[in-house]
Amino acid sequence: MLLDGKMVRDSLLAKAKEQIEREKLNLTLAIIYAGHYEPSERYIKNKKKYCEQVGIKPLIFAMPNVKSEEEIINLIEKLNNDSNINGIILQSPIPKGLDIEKCIKHINPQKDVDGFTKDNFYKLAHNLPGLRSCTPKGIIKLLEYYNIDLSGKKVCIIGRGNIVGKPLIFEFLNKDATVTIAHSKSSNLKEITLNNDIIVSAVGKPHIITEDMVKDGAIVIDVGITVFDGKIVGDVDFDNVKDKCAYITPNPGGVGPMTIAMVIQNVIDAYKGGNING
């Protein structure tokens, strides 16, 4: 069965729109776009589109000629102090030579709708209310939508990146799953994947998850994005893997749409004080 991220996104966005209208919420999301990176333009356009769809005002702060972290930090501080701004996103990547971590740590955790600050990461690790990283949170929401119980399930996450793999460890632990994490230095990936009920691949290498690596009845979540000839190719060899799975995400159309739905959810939660795990 397909885990249809687009359908779940649309349902969540309809609820968000209804809530924003009913509660007459006046919400603004600031997106800082430092430098120039083609894929970022698409992601920002997408965030802008869905903000407008639900009634959140998107403000894009383009800094094409930025030369130092200080310029970005000054803008972040300004946005922190502006009570009309509810959420702040620093679009990644920023220009080479500039340290994104140095900038992110200046974002007010209550406006940190990407969930990247150490305050929010700590809260996730301790299972406390806070703003959570959107892709991992979206994966859990997608599984919840399909009533997939995670308690006691064996989950392997492939990829230990800061945006997906690492926060996802805690998302699954907080749901009482048993978690294994693999990466480029892990030996015998196939042995690991075959031993797990749920496989999440967050690597970015086309079709590294093949049919022989998936046990019958497994759940497979494909996070990876590689753009090839203008098309998205996932980490999972979908056509050959799908028939073995109880559930599988399409890619595109699975995790990506859930990520944007969580950005919107986090803007609403940020407005409410950043203390809700929606």
Catalytic residues: 47, 91, 114
Closest CA to 268 of 10, 23, 5: 23
Select the residue whose beta carbon is closest to ligand NAP and give its number: 161
Nearer to ligand NAP, 25 or 173 (CB): 173
| Residue of 49, 78, 102, 183 that binds ligand NAP (CB under 6 A) | 183
Closest CA to 136 of 118, 102, 159, 154: 159
Q: Please tell me whether residue 249 binds ligand NAP under the rule CB under 6 A.
A: no
Within 126-180, where are the H helices? 134-145, 165-174
| Residue of 6, 15, 105, 205 that binds ligand NAP (CB under 6 A) | 205
| Residue of 256, 262, 267, 269 that binds ligand NAP (CB under 6 A) | 256
CB 94 within 8 A of CB 37: no
Q: Please tell me whether residue 68 binds ligand NAP under the rule CB under 6 A.
A: no
| Residue of 164, 213, 220, 241 that binds ligand NAP (CB under 6 A) | 164
Instruction: State which H helix or E strand residue 144 sits in.
Output: helix 134-145
Q: Which residues pair with 236 in a beta bridge?
A: 209
Q: Please tell me whether residue 208 binds ligand NAP under the rule CB under 6 A.
A: yes
| Residue of 255, 264, 267, 268 that binds ligand NAP (CB under 6 A) | 255
Q: Which residues pair with 245 in a beta bridge?
A: 218
Stretch touching ligand NAP by CB under 6 A, among 78-86, 113-121, 152-160, 192-200: 152-160
Q: Please tell me whether residue 29 binds ligand NAP under the rule CB under 6 A.
A: no
What is the distance, to the nearest Å, from the Cα of residue 142 to the centroid of all Cα atoms in its chain? 12
Closest CA to 275 of 172, 123, 144, 136: 123
Look at the block and give the residue holding tokens 């409410």.
Answer: 272
The contact set with ligand NAP (CB under 6 A) reads 135, 158-161, 163-165, 182-185, 189, 202-205, 208, 223-225, 255-256, 259
